[in-house]
Amino acid sequence: MRTAGLSLMLAMALALPCAAQTDAAQRPDCSRPLSLGLHDHGLLYSPQTGTGIDRDVADELIRRSGCRIQVALMPRARIWQLIEAGALDFSLSGISTPQRDKFAAFAWYFSNKYYLLVRRDAQVQSLADFAANERLTLGVIRSFRYSDSANRFVDELQARQRITQSSGLTPLFEALVAGQIQAMIIEPFDYPTLESARLRALSQIIEFGDKPVPHGLIMSRASLSEAEQQKWRGLVQAMLRDGSMQRIFEKYFKPELARSLLQELP
């Protein structure tokens, strides 16, 4: 009995270093400073308040990884350029396209639909109505992509020179109110702005009818190996499993909407 007890204790002692090594192997490499870009976009991040879903997700990833991550605000178009060059390691709330998949990897954590916000005085009731009227202009954020139908809509209008590009969301809302554009594409993170009485009175929403589009942590393939990408995916998955991501989204949305955004992931 004594020999068996000693053998069990020895086996447990030998197993401890292995468990520690396994845990360490699953943690991201923090041997160098990492970088993450945020962009100004409604509830995702507001530079005026320094708060938003993306900021909270970034803070939680920093806490869980133990890595030193330099967070900076920059235009979305610039973020994609730096991700492709390997000069920026991460960004958040990104969506995949065939072109982006060549230089970026993703860790999905929410999905949402896109809608067309159009001025009532444009007198359109459908996407086809808008496309048929050559006098109407659509405003978009530079480098943004959307769901399949929305992308086709944007590309068609772009080919006909009926697109106005902006560096951010706020200038688009201002242009819509001023009548400089007649429509823009929105998502749930833009809802607080839509609560403006003036904006509600002058605009209406038309659905694209697409399925929710997955969004996630953007990782640069040029700066992070596939093994490291998988470790960061593990952190994101852990946040989804333990309810941390749900709690972040519930800071900004009602619980039922928060839950719907965190469903239908790949």
Residue 108 corresponds to which tokens in the numbers above?
Answer: 């999905």
Helices in 86-196 by DSSP H: which ranges? 127-132, 148-159, 169-178, 191-194
Is residue 12 assigned to a domain? no
pLDDT for 43-59, tens place per residue?
999 999 999 999 999 99
Please check whether residues 162 and 241 belong to one and the same domain: no
Is residue 45 assigned to a domain? yes
Domain boundary, last residue among 162, 178, 207? 207
Is residue 6 assigned to a domain? no
Please check whether residues 102 and 145 belong to one and the same domain: no
Residue 193 corresponds to which tokens in the numbers above?
Answer: 């702005």
Please check whether residues 78 and 157 belong to one and the same domain: no
Domain residue limits at 98:
33-112+213-261
Alpha carbon distance 152, 10 (integer Å): 65
Cβ atoms 248, 110 nearer than 8 A: no
What H or E segment, with its residue span, contains residue 71?
Answer: strand 69-73
Residue 253 corresponds to which tokens in the numbers above?
Answer: 């949305």
Please check whether residues 219 and 199 belong to one and the same domain: no
CA angle, 194 then 199 then 205, to 5°: 65
Alpha carbon distance 234, 107 (integer Å): 9
Give Cα 166 distance to the centre of its chain.
Answer: 18
Please list the residues that pair with 105 across neighbouring strands.
Answer: 219
Residue 29 neighbours by CB distance under 10 Å: 13
Is residue 19 assigned to a domain? no
Return the pLDDT at 24. Answer: 62
Alpha carbon distance 82, 87 (integer Å): 5
Give Cα 125 distance to the centre of its chain.
Answer: 29
Which CATH number goes with the domain that contains 70?
3.40.190.10
- Work out the angle between the directed axes of helices 226-241 and 53-65 (0-180°, nearest 10): 110
Please check whether residues 191 and 250 belong to one and the same domain: no
Alpha carbon distance 230, 108 (integer Å): 12
Residues of the chain with pLDDT under 70: 1-25
Alpha carbon distance 149, 151 (integer Å): 5
Is residue 68 assigned to a domain? yes
Is residue 24 assigned to a domain? no
Please check whether residues 120 and 82 belong to one and the same domain: no
Alpha carbon distance 148, 154 (integer Å): 10
Please check whether residues 183 and 250 belong to one and the same domain: no
Please check whether residues 108 and 120 belong to one and the same domain: no
Is residue 28 assigned to a domain? no
Is residue 1 assigned to a domain? no
Return the pLDDT at 17. Answer: 40
Please check whether residues 41 and 104 belong to one and the same domain: yes
- Report the number of distinct structural domains present in the chain: 2
Please check whether residues 232 and 102 belong to one and the same domain: yes
Please check whether residues 221 and 241 belong to one and the same domain: yes
Please check whether residues 87 and 217 belong to one and the same domain: yes
- Closest alpha carbon to 109 in 257, 255, 245, 248: 245
